[in-house]
Amino acid sequence: MNGTRTLATAARILRQLSHDPRSIALMLVAPSLLVGLFAWLFSEQDGVFDSYGPPILALFPFIIMFLITSITTLRERRSGTLERLMTTPLGKADFIVGYALAFGLMATLQAVVTVSFAVWVCGLDTEGPVWQLGLVAVTDAVLGMALGLLASAFARTEFQAVQFMPLIVFPQILLGGLFMPREDMPDVLYAISNVLPLSYAIDAINAVTAGDEGWDVYGPLLVVAAFLLGSLILASLTLRRRTP
pLDDT above 50 for 176: yes
Give phi and psi for 156, each to the nearest 5.
Answer: -105, -25
Structure confidence by residue, pLDDT tens digits, 33-42: 888 888 888 8
State CA 192 to chain mean position distance.
20
Confidence of residue 223 (pLDDT cuts 50, 70, 90): very high
Residue at 105: amino acid letter: L
- Mean pLDDT, the chain, integer: 81
Higher pLDDT, 72 or 88: 72
Contact (CB, 8 A) for 95 and 12: no
Distance CA 167, CA 230 (A): 18
Contact (CB, 8 A) for 141 and 108: yes
pTM (two decimals): 0.82
The helix-helix angle for 92-120 and 130-152 (nearest 10°) equals 140
Structure confidence by residue, pLDDT tens digits, 112-171: 888 888 888 888 887 878 888 888 888 888 888 888 888 877 777 777 777 777 788 888
Give phi and psi for 172, each to the nearest 5.
Answer: -70, -35
Distances (CA, A) of 37 to 53, 137, 164: 11, 18, 26
Q: Is the dihedral of CA 150, 58, 176, 203 positive or negative?
A: positive
pLDDT at 87: 63
How many CB atoms are located within 10 Å of the residue 147 CB?
Answer: 27
